[in-house]
Structure 1
Amino acid sequence: MAQARRWIPTAILLVALLLEPCAGFYLPGVAPQDFNQGDELQVKVNKLTSVKTQLPYDYYSLAFCKPGKVLNSAENLGEVLRGDRIENSPYVFRMLEDSYCNIVCKTDKLSKKNARKFKRKINEEYHVNMILDNLPLARLKPTADPSYKAYDRGYHVGFKGSYVNEASVEKHFIYNHLSFVVHIHKDPNYKTSRIVGFEVTPFSVKHEVEKSWNGPADTKLSTCSRDGKRRVGADQPFQEVEANEEIIFTYDVAFQFSPVRWASRWDMYLYMSDDQIHWFSIINSLMIVLFLSGMVAMIMLRTLHRDISKYNQLETQEEAQEETGWKLVHGDVFRAPVHAGQLCVYAGTGVQFLGMTLVTMFFALLGFLSPSNRGGLMTVMLLIWVGMGAVAGYSSSRLYKAFKGTEWKSITVKTACMFPGIVFSAFFVLNTIIWGEKSSGAIPFSTMFVLVLLWFGISVPLVFLGSYLGYKKPAIEDPVRTNKIPRQIPEQAWYMRPLFSVLIGGILPFGAVFIELFFILTSIWLHQFYYIFGFLFIVFLILMVTCAEITIVLCYFQLCSEDYNWWWRAYFTSGSSAFYLFLYATFYFFTKLEITKVTSGILYFGYMAIISYCFFVFTGTIGFYACYWFVRTIYASVKID
């Protein structure tokens, strides 16, 4: 045991060192960066994204201008899993120095293959994403209210259209001129400045060379000038995407002083949706669920108080009356269920989920997992999940010993491998599909190796350690004795059948989260930021209370009808909310998304099935343990001979 305790920290340190070069464990953009006039500003490029395909691609998968040497930025584990591919670009600014008509490059004549790639990305409405000082590039969207500013991340690769005299011929045009605006904030007490905004207005311009091409630095264009006198406008001919076309990429950059401080520079990105609707929906859901929970709690307390008083009074008066209701099954209520070991495995995994969620919420509320830390949320969740392996092993072994089980090693192996194995297998299949599409969203082999190393190098040993400690503890004693011969369960009414009661039980927990679920799905599939972790924490608490109360109520009704097989039903009662989550995800797919590719649809439903499965384990465990506490409490409160 002492050797195991010495080995665990060593293993964690070893894995951290292995992860450092390939995953880059750091939190980007935590500290502000100060710039002096003339300092070089390097623009980085990120993946190409589309809400229509959900398949990210590397920026240089298209024939864009490249720097002398393409360098990959260090990315944390979460960024890699999200498909981020951050690289340098030929777009380089000088702090506080406006410049116009900067020529980036002139491409060679487009091949048919490259022209088809551009057209395909334009048809699928792909966005180009860039980063400056850890700020994503934003484009101002036109709105009906001029006073309200809304932004999109990045800009489209191009657009489809036709000239006036060719109305019947639809052509593809590329945005090859970018007009950047860098917003800076200057504190009067300091000489340096900080970047607080990064905007772009894209144009499609068929550039014309005045004399001859002499390279980007020495060539003059008749369509724009470096002194800004001839500016690019919407009235100029568009740059068409066709084979054998030569495309000249240019950009302008202007610096504007802004009153926005560095601490508030992410506000423009976080206000991309209508926050008033968000707040109203959350408060409305909160009040409804709190009211329902209060009613359920009041009914349960009054009913149970009356039942316990009645039973104890009968025992005191020594009335030889036949027992009725939930007291009648006291000799069978703690009988081990069918597949008790499997129930222990799922309960332990659910406790691991609960611990991971609580710790992640804590860090999110403190601001460590803000959107500026790209991939930070996913990285922290994975690491905390691995660290909670000891809790999973301890919980499953304690419950298994209460069932008088003896094969604790087998249960430990299942706890360590079953749920992660199912999720990893599904994830591997989906990743293979993404790899077949040659998308940058495909997880590299090195990252797969890191995930397996985290699993078997840290999580599995911690599960065994927790299981060993849990099984050493004394077995949980039941408040009543279990009869040797099981009692016959009477015929149940239709509304007490397992399927009906389970499906009814999942409605209320899902109702507690479905409003917030809309915004979470929007942030995942429509590439928006999710940032209101305070509201999410409140919804999380409501979800736990709701799962516990609805499971307790239905379990009480089940015991009153003399059905003592409550173990698995308690798990499925609150866990069935995952079924409604998947149904809502299906509804969201057909009403909010514009996915047309079969591959993208498979990826969407595959990932949502994984999320629903995780939600089932999480909510089912909460309901099960709440019901376990409830049953032990009520049977310990009555006098039974």
Structure 2
Amino acid sequence: MPMGPLCPRSWALCLFFFVSATWSFYIPGYSVTRYNDGEAIPLLVNKIFSDHTQLQYAYFDLPFVCPPSGNKHGGSPFGSGQSISLNLGEVLRGDRIMTSDFELEMGKDVECQSLCSAEVGRENVKWARQLIKENYVIEWIVDNLPGATSFVTVDRSRKYYASGFKLGYRDISPATGRSRYFLNNHFTIVIRWRGVPEGGKVIVGFEVYPKSISAEDRLEGGCPKDVHKQQDGLGLFIAPDMSRLREKYAGLSYIPEDDEDDDGATLKIPYTYSVYFREENKVDWANRWDLYFTNQEEGSMTHWLAIINSLTISAVLGVTVFVIWSRTVQGDIKGRGDGAMEDRKLKAQSRRKRSGEKKGEGLLDNADVENEADMSSDDESFEDTSGWKLLHGDVFRIPAYSGLLAPLIGSGMQLLFMATGLLLLSCLGILNPSFRGGFVSVGMGLFVFAGVFSGYFSGRLYKTFGGSTWRKNTLITALLFPGLSFFLVLVLNLFVWAQASSTAIPFSTLIGLLALWLLIQVPLVYIGSWAGFVRATAWEHPLKTNAIARQIPLQPWYLRSPAGPLLTGLIPFAVLFIELLFLFKNLWQDKSGYYYVFGFLSVVSTVLLVTVVEVTIIATYSQLCSENYHWWWQSFLTGGSSAFWIFAYCIWYYAFKLHITGFVSGLLFFSYSFLACAVYGLLTGTVGFLAAYAFVRRVYSAIKVD
């Protein structure tokens, strides 16, 4: 498998492609839904989420909201409370989408409509206060658009959306100084539309303005007398039963008024809503998601600075690699075998001895002067054959634990195929915000399909290492990484299930994932491994390995300890960390899942992989020059070492940027961060290994051993 250097023009074309993809946004939905006046518009309820916790809850699982009545609305064959079929990605991200009792008709404004009147006990009121304290927001969906809170920039030149709207709010009582909690129980829904040439109207905006209105002083139908006036909020408070408390704390001088034992007392919560349709001709249907990203576009300059920073680092490393390449492959690297070098060394010693004797007798003539020059030339040639050239008989020696390295490289190739496919589909616009859960669903499909590549590379590398039990290697490849990941997710699910959160993966979904793994991926890995081990030939090395291993001299400190790979990992991390700011903010703070700058991420990812290749080649060359032929594992660890710094960055981000509270939320954060860093480390470690393997093969293929 000869691996030559890539043409610089190829890199330039690749970079141009990814930079041009930076401006790609997304392909709009495959079908536009048009509504006529009076036509029913379904409003779907989903979940509540917060940036203070990783636990999400389905909207209809909340005991203090209007439960679904089961009635059919707008000619729909499904009653309210009917679950909408979800793809795998939606389920894994905690979505629980259901039909609701809200009645929306295109073009029909509703001043006020009563939804229901819920009654809740003390325990449920206490839970509602806790959710408001943790800043939970609600997500509803209309025409595949999430209900948004509308904001305006400081100069009032632009408007942008934030997905979701607040469940409630709290303030401080001026009388007692304690926190008071108010639940939003009136929702002003604004649907923004525009006409289309084909006829009908399309929805280009979905805004929700929540409000808390007291249950007192209402009309007969349940609506407030004037929903637009400033009114007292609906406080989440049930007055204590003093007679019960006096009986319970009889004989005590102090009676706690905050005793919230369930005594059957309830709080009445009336829910109402208003609907307004407003024409919006400034927004096209194809660009209706832009408002969700207007606030993020302010970081475009930062994205470009990140790209310039990464290109600068990569260029400096590229010059270093070019110098190394010129000194080795392009220069005169005629090596010698160990026997030839020993003979040359003996001849040099003999000449020095004879020269010393003649010097003592004063008998040096012109011939001796020439011999002295030849001796000097031989010494220079001997020095030229030192360092990495001395390892020609050991550089391809089978590494320790090769039965583990081959499956890891196979899994890394599987992840590399998945990541490349996801970035490519995202840049082309196939994976876009309107395809809810599509990123995770397609990623899972690509990962399962890439089991063929995992098995092939693992089997062929295992054969190159001289392995014979390829079926055992196949099982390790198919079960090691997916099995550990599945086990981690299963353990985490036990904690989330105990919290009754929608973040928990349903049991049926776990069974489906298990079936995908064992019934589809494992056979694909077996097929790939059979092709790589049985059908394909082992990769041939340009030099034979000596029977006796060469003794490795004392190594520098950075080659004797884990500090070496960790320090080299700082360079790829420097390429990536600016983009991590945006990625982490989207995943852990906004939690909208609408990360859209895949063009920038693709450019940074490409430069990152190039940087990993360059760093690994430099580190491998330094190791070989120190006469250390254990480069196999070292190249893998060097390539993936930046994962350590990313995990350290996760710890810093958790401590200084997030407001996560609770043991389960912290456990979820660190566990999924560790899993993501492991995936990243496995992927970049594989890239580093392949780069070092190609470099070593190319360098030593030019050596001629006598």
Q: Match for residue 276 of structure 1?
A: 298
Q: Residue 563 of structure 1: CA displacement?
A: 0.5
Question: What SS is found at the alignment partner of 1:46?
Answer: strand
Distance 1:291 1:272 in 2: 28
Residues 116-125 or 407-416, more deviating: 116-125
* Paired letter, 2:117: K
Distance 1:510 1:29 in 2: 36
Task: Please say if 1:576 is aligned against 2:641.
Answer: yes
Question: What SS is found at the alignment partner of 1:129?
Answer: strand
Task: Please say if 1:186 is aligned against 2:167.
Answer: no
Distance 2:206 2:66 in 1: 20
Q: Residue 496 of structure 1: CA displacement?
A: 3.3
Task: Please say if 1:81 is aligned against 2:104.
Answer: no
Q: Residue 190 of structure 1: CA displacement?
A: 3.7
Q: Match for residue 118 of structure 2?
A: 107
Distance 1:489 1:288 in 2: 38
1:206 and 1:239 in contact (8 A); partners too: yes
Question: What SS is found at the alignment partner of 2:210?
Answer: strand
1:220–1:578 CA distance, 2 compared to 1 (3 A): closer
Distance 1:589 1:220 in 2: 45
Which of 450, 472, 478 does residue 410 from structure 1 map onto? 472
Q: Residue 443 of structure 1: CA displacement?
A: 0.6
Distance 2:464 2:580 in 1: 37
Q: Residue 157 of structure 1: CA displacement?
A: 1.1
Q: Residue 162 of structure 1: CA displacement?
A: 4.2
1:65–1:417 CA distance, 2 compared to 1 (3 A): same
Deviations 1:299-342 (A, max 9, x none): 33233323453433989999764320110011000000000010
Q: Match for residue 285 of structure 1?
A: 306
1:28–1:532 CA distance, 2 compared to 1 (3 A): closer
Deviations 1:73-123 (A, max 9, x none): 110000000110001111111100111111111123x21122112111111
1:440–1:306 CA distance, 2 compared to 1 (3 A): closer
2:335 and 2:703 in contact (8 A); partners too: no
* Paired letter, 2:388: W
Distance 1:43 1:538 in 2: 38
Task: Please say if 1:253 is aligned against 2:275.
Answer: yes
Matches within 5 A, 1:90-489: 90-108=101-119, 110-141=120-151, 143-162=153-172, 164=174, 166=175, 168-187=177-196, 189-208=197-216, 213=220, 219=221, 221=223, 223-224=224-225, 230-233=226-229, 235-243=230-238, 244-259=266-281, 260-273=283-296, 275-277=297-299, 279-308=300-329, 309-312=331-334, 321-322=381-382, 323-471=385-533, 472-489=535-552
Q: Structure 2 unaligned runs (5+)?
A: 1-26, 71-80, 239-265, 345-376
Higher RCO (C-alpha 8 Å, min separation 6)? 2
Distance 2:186 2:439 in 1: 35
Residues 532-541 or 492-501, more deviating: 492-501
Q: Structure 1 unaligned runs (5+)?
A: 1-26, 214-218, 225-229
* Paired letter, 1:168: G
* Paired letter, 1:181: V
Q: Match for residue 23 of structure 1?
A: none
**Would you say how many aligned residue pairs link Structure 1 and Structure 2?**
597
Question: What SS is found at the alignment partner of 2:207?
Answer: strand
Distance 2:124 2:102 in 1: 22
Question: What SS is found at the alignment partner of 2:666?
Answer: helix
RMSD, aligned α-carbons: 2.0
Question: What SS is found at the alignment partner of 2:191?
Answer: strand
Deviations 1:128-169 (A, max 9, x none): 1100010000012365332232432111111112455x3524
* Paired letter, 1:66: P
Q: Match for residue 360 of structure 2?
A: none
1:465–1:167 CA distance, 2 compared to 1 (3 A): same
* Paired letter, 2:51: V
Who wins on radius of gyration, i.e. which is larger? 2
Distance 1:64 1:130 in 2: 14
Residues 308-317 or 534-543, more deviating: 308-317
2:161 and 2:293 in contact (8 A); partners too: no
Question: What SS is found at the alignment partner of 1:596?
Answer: coil
Deviations 1:269-288 (A, max 9, x none): 12243x233x2222222223
Deviations 1:376-419 (A, max 9, x none): 00000001100000100000111111111111111110000000
TM score, norm. by length of structure 2: 0.82
Distance 1:182 1:396 in 2: 54
Deviations 1:428-455 (A, max 9, x none): 1111111111101111111001100100
1:66 and 1:90 in contact (8 A); partners too: no
Question: What SS is found at the alignment partner of 1:251?
Answer: strand
Q: Residue 201 of structure 1: CA displacement?
A: 1.3
Matches within 5 A, 1:459-538: 459-471=521-533, 472-526=535-589, 527-528=591-592, 529-538=594-603
* Paired letter, 2:82: L
2:183 and 2:236 in contact (8 A); partners too: yes
Distance 1:628 1:306 in 2: 18
